[in-house]
Structure 1
């Protein structure tokens, strides 16, 4: 292996999905196959590989799609090498998730990729977002929403997806979901849990919630927690205690979301609102 090559590998505890980000120069790996579905995006350089008796060159923004058993290799045909990020999706997990996400999904709905390499900006964005949330250990509902978005893009060309039309239950579904989020904002809620409460699949739930409130359920939950965090910080509660009370993984996790929303750290906000020193 070249001294310039590197691999960053992690595994999501809830789903078992492996997330890989890597950089290779020259020869990357010999022909091999996986028992997982591989969905990846090239970030930088030219990623060249052979698969299904054809040579492919993936450049930044392109998505590569491999099914279990697809034999492939990898190399960098240019001096600067290539960098990519990839998700390894277990077939059994995929079958379960498709059934949960779309309650009309047929039993034989496992994915079959027509093309090994595709140019689809929306799919590329969904893949990168799923990688980012899993690799970064985001909130459960955030990770699940990103994965649902990925599956939505991966399946949108399948015939059974055309069956999804407007559902008269959806306005009530959105209201019920919102009430549940308000009552349980401190818990590590998953979309599957929220869907079970409202009686629809996750796809219909997310569509209904967005239509009613302009945000997906995960974004609404984060904003709800941040609103509570502001009130607690303004009353003088320490950021670490706020993070624990509201279900954030730790103080830094709260800080990332707080800065993203308000442009300053929780400690800075607390100090300005309460005039109390940060102990």
Structure 2
């Protein structure tokens, strides 16, 4: 797919059925405000210089390497040159990584950039052009390969007590069943059979974020679906469990680096 001669920013989603979200995008200057989402963001710069602040330093992604941003790590995005930058990215739910690793702490790739050939090979399936569908079995194989590539390439944290995967998974399932409704830590303690401090620590290690942030992100998932279906910002916010549109917009920007209106306009501009 060609970016053409237009200098207008755009974001293109793959709408084939998939367990992961895949996008291709182009930005001429400033792309994203500082934000953090509860998925791995793994991608490649196709052209230009993709610059971003990550863990206290400015990083620069060039064509040929991979970006591997850990869940819940604050980052932004901008063009490193006047040329702008074009890239592909996939967003991988840590739950999919856990299905392959079986309850280990999530792999962490230092610095957010990698030239590890194992990661590059494992992402080939997902980082094809958006019009290329990924078959279900092909996707499952690719997720398995990606999980183990991340584990092999990560700087391991040795000596740490193994997290209680079953307890954390009970809490996560309860959150999903509540579908955006308010949840208390007391309820999560009861459902999981784990004290709140241990549960919070294990939840972060296994799923990349806190229980509260996980609830918030599921509400934002509902919002995005409703907005794409034509709901107003105000209606989507209330239906998803936020107090009002302002409350939802604040969390949307913190999670995605864009306002809901800007996000919708980019999807429509390509």
Q: Which has the higher contact order (CA 8 A, sep 6+)?
A: 2
When the two structures are superposed, what TM-score results if normalisation uses the length of structure 1? 0.49
Q: Which one has the largest radius of gyration? A: 1
When the two structures are superposed, what TM-score results if normalisation uses the length of structure 2? 0.50
